[in-house]
Amino acid sequence: MQGYVFSCLKKILYYITDHGLGHATRSIAIIRELKKLENIEVCVRNSNAIKILQESLPGTKIISGTTDVGPSINDDGISIDREQTISNVSKWIQKIDFFAKKESKIILQNKPNLVISDISPMPLLAAKNAKIPSIAISNFSWCDVLKFLPSKEMNKLKSVYNNADLAIQISLGTKMDHFRHKKRVGLICRNPTRTKYKIKKSLGISNSKCIVTIALGGSKNNINFEVDDDIEILSMNTKIDNTIKKKDITNYVEGQDIVSISDLVICKCGYGMISECLTNGVPFYYLSSDNHLEQKAISNELKEISLGNRITFKGINELKLTSEFIQSKPILKKEPINNQKIVNIICQMISK
């Protein structure tokens, strides 16, 4: 990282969308890097990931509050309920000027030098109202994912996003072409916090066992597959049949640590788990719905780099997890983490 030294305190108000935890985990990765710098203070605004934010960022001020309304997800945990989403999101967009006006007061109270949003549009409008520069950071925008919204609401959404002074586009996602000013970076995610030995020891897992982590995003579909006794199954927010022995690690905060010790990951096609598999070099299968355009974009990008290991619920239930099967999976080349690059861009913005 370039040697940014600020002579006076610089404050950043960091908004994290209330839809999904992947946004929170990658924001944590960025904020951890920012907090290493002198004279940088970060305050976080969010409502759905307060616990993980508090545990991951001790000493960081967190202001609880709704930042946006995302799509409604069906019981399978991956596809979008379009009718419910149109109803909920349209109502929110129709009142976005009102929400932004209220949010401007919170911004002015906290006196930041910069507002960052992943990837709620509302704070970008609020920052504009408060005359504070802003950055949008994401691998997608709601304009790209919610293309089925009525044209009036879609046009409003685009106009609100246009208040961003800069958009930082993370790899693995949609094109985000509607932003006026855009910079592209690679993968952003958390680094493992401990050695593999210490992580396994804390979980009571023998070094001799193969580890399969299954993280299906709260799907209500029951998962049932064949598994040998020498395989350790780690379950993260997944409904796995009671006949299968497993460790429930849903509340494990540093999920990237779990990925780092895994020999195979089975997950939904969300940015968080996929990026952690890629940066840890861990083989994976993923569930994806073509009606969820972020997932479709991630899946397409994975196919371009010959990692299109897409699977269905039926395919998962037909798996026979043996040591031979898992060890036959090619080890992936670890992709670089671009946390420092994105921090450099942020520092350039607040040093102006």
As a whole number, the mean pLDDT across the chain is: 96
pLDDT score for 3: 66
Judge if 10-188+338-350 and 196-327 fold alike in CATH terms: yes
The answer to whether residue 347 scores a pLDDT higher than 90 is yes
103 has pLDDT over 50:
yes
The CA distance from 214 to 286, in Å, is 10
Matching CATH number, 10-188+338-350, of 3.40.50.2000, 1.10.1740.10, 1.10.3080.10, 2.60.120.10: 3.40.50.2000
Mean pLDDT of 58-71: 97
pLDDT at 271 over 60: yes
pLDDT higher than 70, residue 2 = no
CB atoms within 10 A of CB 100: 22
Decide the pairing of beta strands 284-287 and 264-268: parallel
pLDDT tens digits for range 196-240: 999 999 999 999 999 999 999 999 999 999 999 999 999 999 999
Phi, psi values for residue 40, rounded to 5°: -120, 125
pLDDT at 36 over 60: yes
Which amino acid would we find at residue 176?
M
Q: Is 33 helix (H, G, I), strand (E, B) or coil?
A: helix
Pairing state between β 40-46 and 10-16: parallel
pLDDT of residue 4: 79
* Bridge partners of residue 236, in order along the sequence: 215
Instruction: Provide the β-strand partners of residue 40.
Output: 10
Going by the DSSP 8-state scheme, the letter that residue 331 receives in this structure is P
Q: Above 80 in pLDDT, residue 85?
A: yes
What number is the average pLDDT over the span 174-187? 97
pTM of the model: 0.96
**Furthest C-alpha separation in the chain:** 60
Q: What is the mean pLDDT of residues 14-38?
A: 96
Architecture of domain 196-327 in this structure: 3-Layer(aba) Sandwich (3.40)
Q: Which of 29-38, 168-177, 212-221, 326-335 has the lowest mean pLDDT?
A: 326-335
Q: What tens digit of pLDDT does each residue of 288-302 get?
A: 999 999 999 999 999
Candidates 187, 206, 215, 204; CA nearest to 281 is 187
β-pairing, 320-321 vs 226-227, is parallel
- pLDDT at site 1: 44
Residues for the chain: how many in total?
352
User: What 3-state class would DSSP assign to 241?
Assistant: coil
- Torsions phi, psi for 328 (to 5 deg): -80, -15
Domains of the chain, residue spans: 10-188+338-350, 196-327
